[in-house]
Structures are given as C-alpha cells and as structure tokens.
Structure 1
Amino acid sequence: MKHNNNHIREKEQFKKLFKQEHIDNFEERFKVFEVFLQTERHVTVSELLELLNENGYQLELSFVRDTLELMCRFGFAKKIQFEDGPVRYEHRHLGRHHDHMICTKCRNIIEFEDQRLENLQIQIAAAHGFHMLQHKMEIYGICSNCLKTRMHPMSLVMAKQGERLIIKDFTGGAGARMRLLTMGLRVGDELDVITSPGKGQMVIAVDCRRYVIGRGLAQKVLVEPREKSIYVVKRNEGRSDRSN
C-alpha cells in the first residue's frame, strides 16, 4: 500500500511540474513515466522502450531518452553507469538513499540500505571537517547465485578483477610448474587480480610485486578465495546454532 501511495504522489508531482514548465507532448511523456514507475529495475533507454512497446505504446527511442533526461532534471529519476556498462536509469526516492552491489559475472544489480553506513559516513566527514553533500557506494563482486556455479579450487583464468585469492596448486607438466616457480609464484601465496580481461594476459600482484601472466599459464594455477575459510566457519556456526 505504501508503495502505491508513493507512486500516486509521484504521478501528481510529475503532472504539476511538467505542466507548470510547459513541457511538450505531456500525454506521451506521462506514459513513459507510468511504465518507468512499474519497474524496479535499473533500465536502459532501449529496455524501457521495449517495456513501452509491451504495453502498447509506440514511441521513438530519442523521445524516450529525452523524457528520461527530463525526469532526471526534475528529480524523478537518476542516471547511473557501473564501470564500462551502459547508462541506466533508476527511481529517485526522495528522503531515502540506497547503494549498489554489482555482480561482475552476471551483471546483476542489488540495491541495499544500511543506516549504520550512512551514519558512519557522516561521522567520518565531520571528523575531517568536511560538509558532505552527496555520496554513492558501489560494491563490485560475485553474487550468491554465481558463486554456486564455481568450482573450488578453480583456475586462475576464471578469477575476476579485484579478487583476492590463495594459490592452492599448480597443474600441467614439469615445464609449466618450473615457469611458475621461476616467476616467483608459490603454493600458498596470496594474490590480488589487478586486471583480468576476457582474453590476453592477466596482471596479478603477490607481496606488492606485479606479475604479467598469459592465460595459458594462468590456466594451470589453481586458486581459492582468501575468505573461503571464514565463510565456511560462519556457515558451520549457523548450522550448529539451528540444530541446538
């Protein structure tokens, strides 16, 4: 019910502001706004156009883009872009702030709110004598669904940029193992994935030293997340709590 009330209020304000500012093609723009409100997704212009078509509205892509820009101008929408992904638009909820977690594997976007984080950021800004106007937090990682599909241990070529891993083993023949040892890599080393393009060389770091490694050789390095043991402990603790 609260969700519906918010939408009713948003529609009333949309009508008032767009008519007050004499924005042209009001009826068509209001259709765009209504369909935009119906989705909780972070949509691109093309995705919103597709939703409009599904609702029986035949509009031009440029018109939908222009309407979204007007919605951003009047505070009904917000333009966002995660890394090198496409420009997307989301609802702008007045009086509320949320942040995002972005899965680098499936590109799923998860919204979250945590007042503790909001309070902490205000405290940190105040401690530095800084007057904070706005902020955003984007956490990049791998969502729970994608984690379920991963092998443990896995090949280094499967790792994503930004991951922190532990080398568990080397596979392949003696030649490959010797090349890895000569580079300075050892089983048990903790490494950071600096860059991991879809093809070509990777850059990793071990003990503040950078290494460039081809994907063929990286295929022979088996790794696991550093935090895996922590997650296992927490999961086991959770099971024991429920069983008591």
Structure 2
Amino acid sequence: MKRAKKKIFADFIAQRGLKSTKQRDIILDSFLSSDRHLSIEELYLKLRAKHSNIGYATVYRTLKLFAEAGIAREMEFGDGQTRYEHVVEGEHHDHLVCTRCGSIEEFENQTIEDLQTQVAADRGFLIERHRLELYGVCGKCRS
C-alpha cells in the first residue's frame, strides 16, 4: 500500500510540474506510517523531533497536496482542527468521536450501510458518497 501511494503522489507531483523534494518524501513516509487521524500540528510535532528543517507551512502545504492527489482525506470532527486520514480505494468506514478526550475510532457495520442504501432507494435518491460520525463519550472516559 505504501509503495502504491508513493507512486500516486509522485505521478501527481510530476503532472503538476512540481518538484519531488526530500521534505515531501519525509512527510509522506511519516503520514503513511501513522494509523491515526493526524492534524497538521500533530504531524508537524512528530516530524520536528528528527527533522527540524521541516517547517509548519511545509507540512500544511504537503498535506493539502496529499488530499488533492487522493491519498489523504481532510476530516473535521467539530473541534476546529482539520485532520487527515489515509484514503484506501474501495474501503469505507465511519467514525466514533469522543467529545471528552478527542479520540477517534473507525468502525465498519454492514447493517448500517445496507440501511442507508435502502433509505436512499426508498426515496429515489442515489448516494454518491457519505460520512457517518457518532459523537459521544468513549469507554475510557466513561470509566
């Protein structure tokens, strides 16, 4: 998966006439190695420890490029921060968002997917895309 996404990004950069840079490669590796929904700030702080020459603006612009290239998706969970998650072709998941600690858990449920499809079909509606986010308090915070 990593190799395919790197190829997609390299092709995207070339098509746009942009330079392939070491900094973009480092940011891409770090983003792809994360299994979390990262904010710009979180990724910047993660990178800063080893790569002090990578600035916040570079991380910001590079994440925007990842989204344009289709390898990342911008997500907003009501806390004022844009987060980025990996895009996996053909995969769909939804989110549980804790309103206390901010944790985000992905889940898949075929019954929910089938119900959404049925509700849309009953109304003659064709779904192009959708997003389900459930907000509440996670098990750790409830303990």
RMSD: 1.5
Tell me by how many angstroms 1:54 deviates.
Answer: 2.8
Match of 1:36 among 28, 31, 35: 31
Tell me by how many angstroms 1:17 deviates.
Answer: 2.1
Matches within 5 A, 1:216-227: none
Aligned to 1:129: 124
Aligned to 1:58: 53
Corresponding residue pairs, total:
143
Tell me by how many angstroms 1:107 deviates.
Answer: 1.2
2:19 aligns to what SS in structure 1? coil
Match of 1:18 among 13, 19, 26: 13
- Report the residue type matching 1:91 in the other structure: H
Aligned to 2:87: 92
* Greater RCO structure (CA 8 Å; 6+ sep): 2
Of 22-31 and 41-50, the range deviating more from structure 2: 22-31
TM-score (ref. length: structure 1) = 0.55
CA separation of 1:34/1:54 partners in 2, compared to 1, >3 Å: closer, same or farther? same
1:50 aligns to what SS in structure 2? helix
Match of 2:96 among 95, 101, 105: 101
Tell me by how many angstroms 1:73 deviates.
Answer: 0.8
Aligned to 2:142: 147
Where do 5+ consecutive residues of structure 1 fail to align?
A: 1-5, 149-244
1:129 aligns to what SS in structure 2? coil
Does the CA contact (< 8 Å) of 2:10 and 2:20 recur in 1?
no
Does the CA contact (< 8 Å) of 1:44 and 1:86 recur in 2?
yes
Runs of 4+ aligned structure 1 residues displaced above 6 Å come to: none
Tell me by how many angstroms 1:57 deviates.
Answer: 5.3
2:22 aligns to what SS in structure 1? helix
TM-score (ref. length: structure 2) = 0.91
Say which one has the larger Rg. Answer: 1
Tell me by how many angstroms 1:86 deviates.
Answer: 1.3
CA separation of 1:67/1:37 partners in 2, compared to 1, >3 Å: closer, same or farther? same
Match of 2:106 among 102, 111, 118: 111
CA separation of 1:94/1:31 partners in 2, compared to 1, >3 Å: closer, same or farther? same
Distance 1:25 1:117 in 2: 42
Tell me by how many angstroms 1:25 deviates.
Answer: 4.7
Distance 1:107 1:46 in 2: 15
Match of 1:7 among 2, 19, 26: 2
Tell me by how many angstroms 1:146 deviates.
Answer: 1.2
1:79 aligns to what SS in structure 2? strand
- Report the residue type matching 2:140 in the other structure: N
1:36-83 per-residue CA deviation (whole Å, 9 max, x = no partner) reads 001111111111111112333521111111111111111111111111
- Report the residue type matching 2:45 in the other structure: E
- Report the residue type matching 1:73 in the other structure: E
